[in-house]
Chain A
Amino acid sequence: MAGSSVPDPHRTPARAGLQGALPCPDVQLGPEYLKRLERLSLRFAAGLERREGAGRASLLGAGEEYVTSRPYRPGEDLRQLDWDLLARLDRPYIRVSRREASEFWSLWIDTSASMGVGPPGKLQMAAEVAGGIAAAGLQVGAKIELVAGEQRLLARKLSDIGALLSFLRDLRAQGATGLGGLGASLQAGRPASHVGRLFLIGDLLDMDPAQALSWMRPGRELFWVQVLAPLELLPVGASGLGVEQAGTRHGDWVEWLDPEGSERLSVRLDGANLEAYEMSLERQLEAWQSMASKHGVSHGLFPSDSPFESAVRAILEP
């Protein structure tokens, strides 16, 4: 069943920031993506069967809902012993249960104009990752909530995957500073208290780690999925990505445009400037990583040109 909020098909055309068209404002989820999503979903289903009861698996928590029992392996926590089976069969079994609170996953997607930066577009990558996480969640029986700005969708079972993908396809990067951004959306919408897993998916550029951490609650796991364009990670890199893709090379002048404002900044991509920028970016990313490690938050940084499957696995299979 589809969620409570459906995207408006007659909404105004995407505002590509205030300075002309954004390079990648839309989301394209074609048949190829569906195939890859299906393969990823089956992988999680198989993994689920293999890993049930295997301690602190990431998708299956130590909750109260009993799922099944399996033979005990030496070294496992004796507190999880199924004493009834032990008494009846005189053989040790381990109880595999699913935590009720983990069943509700809330995925918040940043649709601010800065997500239209690319190529490949950051919003495209965010949508693909969100689809993968949602499919994995549905596979393990979780309820999935997708939130993008003022748009919401609730998916309860695997058959809702069609509506879920439709929701993602309609996403569009837009808006001036703050509008559509994760920080503003979280403040306006506020995740429900029963959300067991809260995923924040975006470039996380409109908030700092402390703000993002404020949504941590007892019994809730927090996930930060940070997506940046190659252009932002490495303006001119040895990989040949970045600005070189946009037709600009080392030593050239470029004019950076703020996707969410009117600011323009002309810089020269020489060695000193690039080094200073990369150091500044590294400091910022380290702040996110440090905060995540300190408070048990799952944090992953992904270039928008990386395969979404690897990002989903890195988040759900730490």
Chain B
Amino acid sequence: MNVEWTRPVGFWALALPALLVLLSLRRAKPNPLHLGTLRLWRDLAGEGDGARIRWRLPLSRVLLVAGLSAGALALAGPRPGEPDQQSTWHVIVDTRPAMFLEHTTEGGLASGRGTRLAVALGTLDQLLHAQATRPKLLWSRRLSGVTRLDRLAADQVPDDFLVAAPGGYERRSWSALDEPNTLWLSDRLPPGPAPQYAGYVLSGGGPVAGAVASVGDRSLVLSGGQIVEGRALARRAVYVDPGVPKRLALFARIWSEQRGFDVLDVDTGADRLALRLLATAIAEPSAVPCTFGRDGWQARAQVSELRDDPSPEARWSTWLSGQVNGREQRLVTWQPGRVRLAFREPFEESSVDPGTFAVSWAELLDRALAPAPGILTSAERASAGDTSSRAPQPGIADPRAAPAAWPLERLLAAAAAVLLFAAALIPR
């Protein structure tokens, strides 16, 4: 057990029991006395070992010394050290698509060091070698929208982590991972204040040319610091679930045509689909009529509860909610590439201005579009700066927090009180 002492000056109090032991041993030295009846004592000594000398302290003195020692240790303020605080690092790996871009110089030329992720992992190795003892590593990764704390123990980054996660999210949740013994591995620091306790390994890297946006089968490319129209992309499609209310399905078709997408009524797979518009199956007994709306439009439909996908990759954002049986309930949620509805037919839209309905839903579908393969935002393709690293802060930052968590000091003080009380009770 790793124990730290907050008041080492308290160790001086150990001099008291030490002095007491010395005085007691000196006191215990037998007092030589002449005796004419020595023969009687000798005969007794032969009957057992009770009369022979044994160099020992009285029990009361032993208890007194133990009590004073415990008190002195309590004065020194023991508290548990952070267990394995220097020996285990929690590495949070950023798997945004940008991490899989080739690492370049500031001039946009390939640095020859592989991807940004490879450069970051290499920098991590250097940081580990710089430590007096190589720490053990626990690995977690950033997934789409969430940072899953896998805490996989491994010397090297797990192979599963070398797959790009969907893009489109910042890493604001990393601020919650600003902890001692935690290391962020990315290309640049996430938005927000710099970490106080967590360390980091940043690959950096210059700008990387490539598509930054797509509109239908057209793409916009970052090249030489400017955005230009790039080559035509493979035409993508939008899948509309047959359960989607007809009015919404009709609108989705119109929107898709406007955006240059095909419309499919069969889910053909992830690569080609830019968006899936899904309707939740409604169990009749649980369906409840509800009136809802936003952005100026209003509708009425039978709604049921939207259940979250247990997968951590499926973090849904709420776009529309309404009061159902007196409580707030989600009616429309989305994530990149997916929109999910809590209602089907019958769906009665009763907007005064029909345009508000179209504008409102068009904004949702635009927002939920999955980026086309190979398309990263211009911010991610932009320069990430220089390669840098910093070891995480070790241990507990606030020593005042430790005694409450582990009351060794109080235990020692209580033991001292009990021992001194027992010493006082034992007759000489």
Contacts and interface: CB of A to CB of B under 8 A. Distances in A.
Given A280-B43, A280-B44, A255 B36 contact: no
B31 A114 contact: no
Contacts of A178: none
A254 B36 contact: no
A203 B36 contact: yes
A263 B50 CA distance: 18
Given A117-B35, A117-B36, A266-B30, A253 B44 contact: no
Given A116-B34, A254-B33, A280 B50 contact: no
A264 B40 CA distance: 13
Nearest to A284: B40
A265 B42 contact: yes
| Max chain B Cβ within 10 angstroms of own Cβ: one of A252, A263, A270 | A252
B37 A205 contact: yes
Interface stretch (A148-156, A240-248, A294-302): A240-248
B156 to A, nearest CB: 68
A267 interface: yes
Contacts of A306: none
A272 interface: yes
Contacts of B32: 19-20, 254-255, 257, 264
Interface string B149-188: 0000000000000000000000000000000000000000
Nearest to A204: B36
A169 interface: no
Interface residues of B, number: 26
Contacts of B39: 205
B19 interface: no
Interface in A246-282: 246-259, 263-268, 270, 272-273, 276-277, 280-281
B31 A251 contact: no
Given A250-B428, A265-B41, A243 B53 contact: no
A276 B44 contact: yes
Contacts of B40: 277, 280-281, 284
Contacts of B41: 256, 265, 267, 277
Interface in B1-52: 28-45, 47, 50-52
A231 to B, nearest CB: 6
Contacts of A205: 36-37, 39
A205 B38 CA distance: 10
| Max chain B Cβ within 10 angstroms of own Cβ: one of A248, A276, A277, A284 | A276
A117 to B, nearest CB: 5
A229 interface: yes
A281 B37 contact: yes
A77 B38 CA distance: 50
Contacts of B28: 252-253
Given A205-B39, A280-B44, A247 B31 contact: yes
A94 to B, nearest CB: 47
B167 to A, nearest CB: 84
B50 A273 contact: yes
A22 B44 CA distance: 24
Interface residues of A, number: 45
A229 B36 contact: yes
Interface string A1-43: 0000000000000000101101100000000000000000000
A182 interface: no
A116 B51 CA distance: 24
A228 interface: yes
Contacts of A267: 41, 44-45, 51-53
B54 interface: yes
A253 B34 contact: no
B379 to A, nearest CB: 85
Interface in A105-148: 114-117, 122
Contacts of A117: 34-36
A23 B34 contact: yes
A273 B51 contact: yes
A305 interface: no
Contact of B35 (A115, A232, A276): A232
A259 B30 contact: no
A111 B302 CA distance: 126
Contact of B428 (A251, A263, A281): A251
A284 B37 CA distance: 11
B50 A272 contact: yes
A20 B45 CA distance: 24
A231 B53 contact: no
B349 to A, nearest CB: 101
Contact of A231 (B29, B35, B43, B52): B35
B43 A265 contact: no
Given A273-B44, A277-B41, A266 B52 contact: yes
A281 B35 CA distance: 13
Contact of B36 (A247, A259, A266): A259
| Max chain A Cβ within 10 angstroms of own Cβ: one of B28, B29, B35, B42 | B35
A255 B31 contact: yes
Given A251-B58, A265-B41, A280-B43, A228 B36 contact: yes
24 contacts: A20-B32, A115-B36, A117-B34, A117-B35, A205-B39, A229-B36, A246-B33, A247-B31, A248-B31, A248-B33, A252-B28, A253-B53, A255-B33, A257-B34, A258-B38, A265-B38, A265-B42, A265-B51, A267-B41, A268-B53, A270-B50, A272-B50, A273-B51, A280-B43
- Nearest 3 pairs of A and B residues by beta carbon: A266-B53, A114-B36, A255-B30
Interface of B: 28-45, 47, 50-54, 58, 428
Given A23-B34, A281-B40, 5 more contacts: A228-B36, A258-B38, A265-B45, A266-B53, A268-B51
